[in-house]
Amino acid sequence: MKVIEPDATTRVVMVNDHAVGRDFVVIAGPCAVESEEQLVGTARRVKAAGAHMLRGGAYKPRTSPKSFQGLGEEGLRILRAAREETGLPIVTEVMDARDIEAVIAHADVLQVGSRSMFNYTLLTALGAVDKPVLLKRGMAATVDEWLQSAAYIARGGNERIILCERGIRTFETNHRNTLDIAAIARARRLSGYPVVADPSHAAGRRELVMPLALAAVAAGADGLMVEVHPDPASALSDPEQALDFARFDDLLARLAALRPARAGTA
């Protein structure tokens, strides 16, 4: 699935037995953990389709305080149940340094969300953690600011960093964000950290997820993070961008077809 091979400068981040940076990874799951049935059902299905890790937020950074804020510790318990059931490593967001201990106990990769990329207290605390961190790019952050945030984590001794390009705010309002394809290649080259792309938050619309995912892979992304929900219309957060299972199957089939392509190095 990788069209640009890692070179000697690419750092490999092990997540259980997945070598992120060397092996292409697909992280899939709902925006938010809503129930055990929803999450475990999704986990089983995305695993069967070929996903390598399960995503799902227990702590949700929502723009409106009136929106569903996540199930918190109950969500973490459900994530653990999904891992026990499927063996998929868990990627979930930690919003507050005070929650790190609870999240570490249940997660395999700690996600820093776009809204938290400038939370230097959180980043510093994650520097002392013995778990990989998936660091999303701030929606208004330059590549340099993003890499400086990674340096906050690395400074504490945690170099297990995976960057995630999730789209930035531009003047374009037709789609939710603008996926910065150049930043995928640039951040990877400048830092050596693996870079995954999140076409779901970039697109904001499910029909754009496939083309953005394919573009990201062509640009050398080390993986994808995609929102998948058993019934997108009923999702408690980000219903417009979630893929149903059939669309997720289509995406993985298209990705598999890309495998032989090569596009030179960034």
Would you tell me which residues interact with ligand PEP (CB under 6 A)? 31, 57, 61, 93, 113-115, 136, 166, 201
As measured in angstroms, the least distance from the Cβ of 4 to ligand PEP is 23
Q: Using CA atoms, how far apart are residues 136 and 16, in angstroms rounded to an integer?
A: 21
Nearest CA among 51, 215, 20 for reference residue 132: 20
Among Mn ion, ligand PEP, none, the one that 61 touches (CB under a kind-dependent 5 to 8 A) is: ligand PEP
Q: Using CA atoms, how far apart are residues 185 and 178, in angstroms rounded to an integer?
A: 15
**What binding mask, one character per residue, do residues 184-223 give for Mn ion by CB under 5 A, x or -?**
----------------------------------------
- Angle between helical axes of 36-49 and 73-86 (0-180°, round to 10): 40
First to last CA, the chain: 17
Among Mn ion, ligand PEP, none, the one that 186 touches (CB under a kind-dependent 5 to 8 A) is: none
DSSP classification of residue 132:
-
As measured in angstroms, the least distance from the Cβ of 128 to Mn ion is 27
As measured in angstroms, the least distance from the Cβ of 171 to ligand PEP is 19
Candidates 33, 235, 238, 248; binder of Mn ion (CB under 5 A) is 238
Q: Write 113-118 long-range contacts (CB < 8 A, 24+).
A: 113/61, 114/61, 114/138, 114/139, 114/166, 114/201, 115/61, 115/139, 116/61, 117/141, 117/145, 117/146, 117/149, 118/145, 118/149
As measured in angstroms, the least distance from the Cβ of 172 to ligand PEP is 17
As measured in angstroms, the least distance from the Cβ of 201 to Mn ion is 6
Q: Which residues contact 194 (CB under 8 A, 6 or more apart)?
A: 10, 11, 12, 13, 20, 21, 162, 163, 188, 222, 223
Task: State both tokens at 96.
Answer: 């507050």
As measured in angstroms, the least distance from the Cβ of 60 to ligand PEP is 7
Q: Which residues contact 249 (CB under 8 A, 6 or more apart)?
A: 49
Residue type, 88: L
Among Mn ion, ligand PEP, none, the one that 21 touches (CB under a kind-dependent 5 to 8 A) is: none
* Interaction of residue 93 with Mn ion, rule CB under 5 A: no
Interacting span for Mn ion (CB under 5 A) from 28-36, 109-117, 156-164, 245-253: 28-36
* Interaction of residue 228 with Mn ion, rule CB under 5 A: no
Interacting span for Mn ion (CB under 5 A) from 41-49, 105-113, 125-133, 236-244: 236-244
* Interaction of residue 108 with Mn ion, rule CB under 5 A: no
State the residues that interact with Mn ion by CB under 5 A: 31, 238
